[in-house]
Amino acid sequence: MWFVEEVGELGRALRKGDAENLREEVGDVLAWLTSLASMAGVSLGDAAARYRDGCPRCGESPCACRRGPARS
C-alpha cells in the first residue's frame, strides 16, 4: 500500500531533520490519506474533530501521553 510507504519516508525525513524533504513527505502522506478516506467514505473533518481540543486522553496538542495518542 502506497500510504504505508509514504509514512515510512516521512519517518526517515523526521529522523534526518531534513526540512525540505519533510515538507514533501508530509504532502505525500496527506495526499494518500485524503485518497484513502475518500475511497472509504470517511470525512476527514469528522475524523479530525475528535482532536479539535487536543488529544482526547491528555488534552494536550501535540499529544503528551507517554503511551502515544488515544485509541478507540
- What sections of the chain are H helices per DSSP? 2-16, 19-40, 44-49
Tell me the C-alpha distance between 28 and 24, whole Å.
Answer: 6
* pLDDT-derived band at 72, boundaries 50, 70, 90: low
**What's the whole-model pTM score?**
0.75
pLDDT at 70: 58
Tell me the C-alpha distance between 62 and 47, whole Å.
Answer: 17
Give pLDDT tens digits for 11-51. 999 999 989 999 999 999 999 999 999 999 999 999 999 99
pLDDT above 80 (res 71): no
| Structural domain boundaries in the chain | 2-41
pLDDT at 29: 97
Give CA separation, 30 vs 23, 36, 39, 66, in Å.
Answer: 11, 10, 14, 25
Q: How many residues does the chain have?
A: 72
